[in-house]
Amino acid sequence: MAAAVLIENLQKRYGSVAAVKDVSFKIEPGEIFGLLGPNGAGKTTTLRALCTLITPDAGRLEVSSISVVDQPRIARQLLGYVAQEVALDQVLTGRELLQLQAAIYHIPGQMAKERIEKVIHLLGIEDWADKKTGTYSGGIRKRLDLAAGLLHQPDVLVLDEPTVGLDIESRVVVWDFLRQLRDSGTTVLMTSHYLEEVDALADRVAIIDKGVVIATGTPSELKDQVGGDRITLRIREFSPTEEAEKAKTLLEPLPMVQEVIINTAQGNSLNLVVTPHNDALMKIQQSLQEAGLPIFGIAQARPSLDDVYLAATGKTLMDAELAAAGSRDLKAEKKQSMR
């Protein structure tokens, strides 16, 4: 069976900036596939290239064996795309917007009517369908956007941050809907920087950092690869580098410790990978106390997708988000000062 989506060696630059350096992954029919990474990692650029909204500089992109670059019109019929930002004509009702979407896809009248009723019911927006979209909450707007992306019954539904900005209740509705879609045979490709969302929904995951795929697999496989339990340790709230290095040197020889990473972005906290052991915390605390080092905070947990990202890059996803935000703010300040 042909892959639902195939991307090989995708590259895209904007001037001197390499938004996507080398992205490759394959999605099987009928699975939810998650692209996880911080803002600026290249997720949206990858989706836009797949959905024919931008032309890649290099790479192979296919939907059900149809080349996105060579046969874009056919590819568009196989794809449904829901962007991160919801853009609705606020003077139209939800039903009118769906009727417009049906006309754009040349869906015949009676078929369009039946499909509109179906997606309205699927997404639970019956009470809102005949009200102007300008009166919708963010959650209802997102549901209508999903309905529009599904109206032509695409083989692959592509979602860019489908729950960003939504409240808990709306997120749960979207999660349940995506699971129903997957169970009915629709392939879903979604981006997110919400760890719990990808962990809960995705059958398989590709983690992107700085335009490159750094890990691919099921959430369980990726977490198993980093191995062991995770211990987060703070000597002080903000530890001096020398003190963190001293603690690292002290803890690395312990038999249950597999790896120690100093997280400079979080006050030189220490992230340890340890063999699952009932006495791990006690032995680490004892070693630090014997060396005269204080303990501000310590916690033990099973591996997470953030641990996968940390092991590959040396920073957590939150650290990467903060660094990206800081870089954007700095660029904005430079532009402002040049005016």
What mean pLDDT comes out for the span 141-164? 90
Residues 164 and 16 in one domain: yes
- Residue 298 in domain: yes
At 135-145, the pLDDT tens digits run 998 889 888 99
Specify whether 69 is located in the same domain as 204. yes
Pair 154, 238 in one domain: no
Distance CA 256, CA 284 (A): 10
- pLDDT score for 305: 87
Arithmetic mean of pLDDT over the chain = 89
Q: Are residues 97 and 246 in the same domain?
A: no
Q: Say if residues 195 and 219 touch (Cβ distance below 8 Å).
A: no
Residue 55 CB-half CA count within 13 A: 4
Statement to judge: residues 24 and 103 lie in one domain: yes
Which amino acid is present at 130? D
Residues 6+ apart with CB under 8 A from 207: 36, 37, 213, 214, 215, 216, 222, 305, 308, 309, 312
Same domain for 35 and 94? yes
Specify the number of domains making up the chain. 2
Output the domain CATH number for residue 144.
3.40.50.300
Judgement on whether residues 95 and 161 belong to the same structural domain of the protein:
yes
Examine residue 330 and state whether it is found in any structural domain, yes or no: no
DSSP state letter for 41: S
What are the tens digits of pLDDT across the range 281-319?
Answer: 999 999 999 999 999 999 988 888 888 888 888 778 877
The Cα–Cα gap between 68 and 78 comes to 10
Mean pLDDT of 84-99: 88
Give the single-character DSSP code of 29. Answer: T
- The answer to whether 79 touches 53, Cβ cutoff 8 Å, is no
Give the CATH number for residue 239.
3.30.70.100
Same domain, 174 and 249: no
Question: Domain check: are 237 and 275 in the same one?
Answer: yes
Domain-embedded: residue 246: yes
Do 213 and 236 belong to one domain? no
**Same domain (yes/no): 15, 59:** yes
Residue for token pair 């590819």: 75
More confident site: 30 or 321: 30
Domain boundary among 186, 217, 248: 217
| Domain stops at, among 185, 217, 249 | 217
* Residue 333 is assigned to a structural domain of this protein: no
Q: Is 339 exposed, middle or buried (0-12, 13-18, 19+ CB in 10 A)?
A: exposed
Work out the burial of residue 324: count CB atoms within 10 Å of its CB; fewer than 13 is exposed, 13-18 middle, 19 or more buried: middle
- Tell me what pLDDT residue 332 has: 52
Amino acid symbol at 313: T
Domain around 100:
5-217
DSSP for 215-283, please give it: EEE-HHHHHHHH-SEEEEEESSSS--HHHHHHHHHHHTTSTTEEEEEEEGGGTTEEEEEE---TTHHHH
**Do 213 and 241 fall into the same domain?**
no
The count of other CB atoms within 10 Å of the CB of residue 125 is: 22
39 within a domain of the structure (yes/no) = yes
pLDDT of residue 325: 65
Mean pLDDT of 241-269: 92
Collapsed DSSP state (helix, strand, coil) of residue 325:
helix
Task: Give whole-number Cα distances, 186 to 33, 93, 118, 178, 285, in Å.
Answer: 11, 27, 15, 9, 50
Higher pLDDT, 1 or 13: 13
Residue 29 and residue 185: Cα distance in Å, rounded? 7
- Inform me whether the pLDDT recorded for 195 exceeds 90: no
- pLDDT computed for residue 329 by the predictor: 54
